[in-house]
Structure 1
């Protein structure tokens, strides 16, 4: 043993006073005032003096600390930095320990803040969970290549084209997340897989919509006062997407205006303004009917827990023998605006919550056309509830 090494004993470690105590060869014990103690290795490499933590004295014995210091000195003799070498070794170990399922979950956790409702609906993670992880979840992420991805997604590439695209996109984000963690992955693997999979044959189909002339008859049939009937009536009267409607809360309504948080709007980002929906007299009456059924602050709760689901409304229409689906009422409203009114394009698109114009135009336009939309939606409510008579009267005396 070299002179000056191994100055401490096990008893000295336990009884040492607060302060720093040298064992020799760069190994130190730091005893804190609260009684805790930490080992560290002090060294100089490339002209820099550095300290590397070796663990708490309660977890690392004196013998183990000396062995760690021996390894550190050996690394320094090679003109290498023990801290950087330890990090490199950890990355190498992680290569075999980080499976895709672990990376996917970690990536999901990292992205939750930018997802609607913190991703609780599961739409971000579901394509991976259903179509990728069953086959590739237990594969080390560094071993995944384009052929693995192609073989995994090929069964759904044409028959579930949109889902396959989402799964491929999410997988690409997982690979980027792995690279950010320091893992050796092929960031081009998803694009290479896309080339191997080829052009998709699937053509997206529009959601079936009810002709606007038939909407009043369907609306009249929703007369039982159940959550499903009330939800569909309110969906028709407001023209919003079913997501914000299902999560409508009492505290979002002030007078005759319902304010939908910006993050709840489809395709919207954190800085998007909230969206104001004018509530007609008919819509306010539906909300009043829903209040006794409210639970947990939500006006349209499900029978068990949470809020009414998209599936509930869709299945109701399916059981009624209708081809149309709930989302299609937005198309019914838009067609009515185009065919039965002379509403300016910007107002008509804003009714549906669509983004109108480029970024510069939007920056200078401060209005959301609330008053114009309120008048238009009152006319729509009159048509839907048949409170103004015939379709001819709907257009007004001046043909509008």
Structure 2
């Protein structure tokens, strides 16, 4: 072990100006090294059969007493059979360790989206996530480490819009909760999720059902459908035919706009919509009525596109094209509202079971028991119902 030099005082150490190593005493092997203007602490120790120098920090940022304390701890480690690590290496290791585990909410969101967005049906879903979080969460959480996020951070995001934009706020809460759950599984945070609703936020925020005004899609009254259809049939253009097909099939706008010729079985009069294009993620078969089949037979085909209702450049119609047709007809409704009109017709003017109408609309059954027992898709029963619907809306209008 190196000899212990004469123990210098703080004043004596401060007075050292010449370059080189200067033993300061108090702890064996402790030196002040001066080189090219740099003044720092060096501890020379023997590890095994090798000598090594360990940096203890710059002087005077690390005082004489602090240097001696660090040196003594290293000697203690050696006596206990531990390989000493220099404070500088320890600091670098600590920083690297923190960098590996301390992740910001923004970083976690980006990684979560990379992981999960492949499960979503289209890029629009991811864009909705990003837009909501960017607008309402990132200003409060973006740079905050996920390990530090707690109730006050969540409320800062939610409270300003909870009463005025409750649907958006509710989705925002769920998305923040998902990102934080992901961060917990990845060991970037621990403890309860501060964005959870049940037993937590439900104690400090009003229930959505109490404050949210449900705005139903504007729909044309059932009894006005024959006159509306009569006017629609006089309209030229692919968008008008797409809207007419949508009404006969009670389908969603996206399902119709994305409909392909390859999905139509003319012999069996069935339109099979693949699971990837269905909201519930399950294949849906639509029985085609006589009017729906006639419409398809009369539709022109474009060799370069498999779409039944292509846009001007062969691409899928935009989600506003059918709405534009209705606006030109002065109709105070939206395309999705025809599904509500169909449901009202089935409930008010027919004896068809509720479940049959719900199946025609491709709604997911709320009752898990009912869903488990319904093995088939009641295609032929639905065919009869859809034909009666088609007959009803195609009847001559008696409006003067």
Q: For residue 326 of structure 2, what is the aligned residue in structure 1?
A: 317
- Deviation per CA, 1:239-260, whole angstroms, max 9, x where unpaired? 1222322221222212211111
Q: For residue 205 of structure 1, what is the aligned residue in structure 2?
A: 215
Distance 2:138 2:106 in 1: 6
Q: For residue 174 of structure 2, what is the aligned residue in structure 1?
A: 169
Distance 1:88 1:240 in 2: 58
- Please say if residues 95 and 140 of structure 1, whose CA atoms lie closer than 8 Å, have aligned partners that are also in contact: no
Query: Match for 2:98 among 92, 103, 107?
Result: 92
Tell me the TM-score normalised to structure 1 length. Answer: 0.66
Distance 1:385 1:87, change over 3 A: farther
Q: For residue 396 of structure 1, what is the aligned residue in structure 2?
A: none
Distance 1:145 1:294 in 2: 58
Distance 1:101 1:184 in 2: 14
Distance 1:253 1:235 in 2: 14
Distance 2:314 2:185 in 1: 38
Tell me the TM-score normalised to structure 2 length. Answer: 0.66
- Deviation per CA, 1:91-116, whole angstroms, max 9, x where unpaired? 521344x3322221221222223322
- Please say if residues 301 and 307 of structure 1, whose CA atoms lie closer than 8 Å, have aligned partners that are also in contact: yes
- Deviation per CA, 1:370-391, whole angstroms, max 9, x where unpaired? 112112212211222226x879
Q: For residue 31 of structure 1, what is the aligned residue in structure 2?
A: none
1:170 to partner: Cα distance: 0.7
Distance 1:151 1:358 in 2: 37
Q: Does 1:352 align with 2:361?
A: yes
Distance 1:370 1:313 in 2: 27
Distance 1:87 1:232 in 2: 64
* Unpaired segments ≥5 residues, structure 1: 1-73, 80-85, 392-400
Distance 2:147 2:164 in 1: 29
Q: Does 1:133 align with 2:138?
A: yes
- Deviation per CA, 1:230-273, whole angstroms, max 9, x where unpaired? 2211111101222322221222212211111234332x25xx4x
SS of residue paired to 1:309: coil
SS of residue paired to 2:169: helix
Distance 1:302 1:162, change over 3 A: farther
Q: Does 1:245 align with 2:253?
A: no
Q: How does 1:137-152 map to 2 (within 5 A)?
A: 137-152=142-157
* Unpaired segments ≥5 residues, structure 2: 1-77, 85-91
Distance 1:202 1:319, change over 3 A: farther
Q: Does 1:254 align with 2:265?
A: yes
Query: Match for 2:247 among 230, 236, 241?
Result: 236
1:324 to partner: Cα distance: 1.9
- Deviation per CA, 1:173-214, whole angstroms, max 9, x where unpaired? 001111222212554221355544434422212222211111
The count of residues paired between Structure 1 and Structure 2 equals: 307
1:362 to partner: Cα distance: 3.7
Distance 1:181 1:95 in 2: 9
Greater shift, 176-185 or 368-377, is seen at 176-185
- Please say if residues 242 and 327 of structure 1, whose CA atoms lie closer than 8 Å, have aligned partners that are also in contact: yes
Q: Does 1:341 align with 2:350?
A: yes
Distance 2:213 2:378 in 1: 35
Distance 2:324 2:140 in 1: 32
- Please say if residues 240 and 325 of structure 2, whose CA atoms lie closer than 8 Å, have aligned partners that are also in contact: no
Q: For residue 287 of structure 1, what is the aligned residue in structure 2?
A: 296
Distance 2:273 2:98 in 1: 48
Q: Does 1:332 align with 2:341?
A: yes
Greater shift, 156-165 or 291-300, is seen at 291-300
- Please say if residues 305 and 314 of structure 2, whose CA atoms lie closer than 8 Å, have aligned partners that are also in contact: no
Distance 1:136 1:313, change over 3 A: farther
Structure of greater Rg: 2
RMSD: 3.4
1:327 to partner: Cα distance: 1.2
Distance 1:381 1:95, change over 3 A: same
Distance 1:127 1:220 in 2: 42
Distance 1:365 1:202 in 2: 33
SS of residue paired to 2:285: strand
- Please say if residues 176 and 187 of structure 1, whose CA atoms lie closer than 8 Å, have aligned partners that are also in contact: no
SS of residue paired to 1:277: strand
- Please say if residues 250 and 299 of structure 1, whose CA atoms lie closer than 8 Å, have aligned partners that are also in contact: yes
1:336 to partner: Cα distance: 1.3
Distance 1:291 1:120, change over 3 A: farther
Distance 1:186 1:324, change over 3 A: farther
